[in-house]
Amino acid sequence: MKAIILAAGKGTRLTPFTDNFPKGMIKLFNKTLIEMQIENFQMCGITDITIVTGYKSEKISFPKIKIIKNEFFDSTNMNESLFCAKEELNDSVIISYSDIIYDKLIIKQLIDFKKDIGIVVRAKWKDAYVDRSLHPITEAENVLYENKKILKIQKNISDKSLKQNIAEFLGLVKLSKNGCEIFLDTYSKLSRKNLEKFHSSKSLKKAYLTDMIQEIIDLGNNVEMIQTDKKWFEIDTMEDIEKVRAKFGK
């Protein structure tokens, strides 16, 4: 079992901190976001960890952790960062955004998931956006599903039928070895095309991870929901930092 942490972005809404550091290196409770993730993975027995860096890459360094830099981080997006680490997609792997903190019990849920492709979602998600003015609910990465089957994944889904539901994608993906092969094969075929648009993005190079997941779904592959009610927080603005610190009294 491996882990890949995607940490190439700057995090413009966290200025002035991110003038000097990538947002995964912001500190909460005397530890950086990435450090907290690493410790949780290691406590769950996952020691083969890779971080994909980009902006201020030199600021990210941890003992016994592999670093791969997306050299084109300023002109690409998260999906391209993932495939900078394609050599690591040769075994079951957990993929994580770098700007989130979460209970290690979610990692255990991911480890226990035995199908090819799974994404972590929460059904009760709207309350987390109350008084979150700098990162409104329209910024949520949503999952539209019916009878547990995922139909769509993208930001700001609001339209649904009576039989459908909307959840929030939490930036965590589990791939089996076969799931990795599906991702690699799909990316290889897409890379041969000159795509002017790729789902919600302008191109494959600028694609979000959610765009890639949507492509995998559209090709007929099963992408399963791993539902959780465990603690999870996204750190996207200074307001988020203040809210999390207040919540935990630190």
Quick: pLDDT tens for 37-74. Answer: 999 999 999 999 999 999 999 999 999 999 999 999 99
Portion of the chain with pLDDT greater than 90, in percent: 90
Is residue 171 within 8 Å of residue 97, measured between CB atoms?
Answer: yes
pLDDT of residue 196: 86
Instruction: List, for residues 128-176, the tens digit of each pLDDT value.
Output: 999 898 999 999 999 999 999 999 999 999 999 999 999 999 999 999 9
So what's the pLDDT on residue 3?
98
- The residue range of the domain holding 167 is 2-248
Mean residue pLDDT across the chain: 95
**Peptide bond before residue 16 is cis, with ω within 30 degrees of 0:** yes
Convert the chain into a string of H (helix), E (strand) and C (coil).
Answer: CEEEEEECCCCHHHCCHHHCCCHHHCEECCEEHHHHHHHHHHHCCCCEEEEEEECEHHHCCCCCCEEEECCCCCCCCHHHHHHHCHHHCCCCEEEEECCEEECHHHHHHHHHCCCCEEEEEECCCHHHHCCCCCCCHHHCEEEEEECCEEEEEEECCCCCCCCEEEEEEEEEEEECHHHHHHHHHHHHHHHCCCCCCECCECCCCCCCHHHHHHHHHHCCCCCEEEECCCCEEECCCHHHHHHHHHHHCC
pLDDT the model gives residue 106: 98
Average pLDDT value for residue range 200-227: 97
pLDDT for 249 equals: 62
Q: What is the CATH number of the domain that holds 207?
A: 3.90.550.10
Rounded CA separation 98/56 (Å): 14
Domain count, the chain: 1
Q: Kindly tell me if the per-residue pLDDT of 194 is higher than 90.
A: no
The structure's pTM equals 0.96
- pLDDT, position 236: 94
In this prediction, residue 247 has a pLDDT band, given cuts at 50, 70 and 90, of confident
pLDDT category at 250 given cuts 50, 70, 90 is low
Q: What is the pLDDT of residues 84-132, one digit of tens each?
A: 999 999 999 999 999 999 999 999 999 999 999 999 999 999 999 998 9
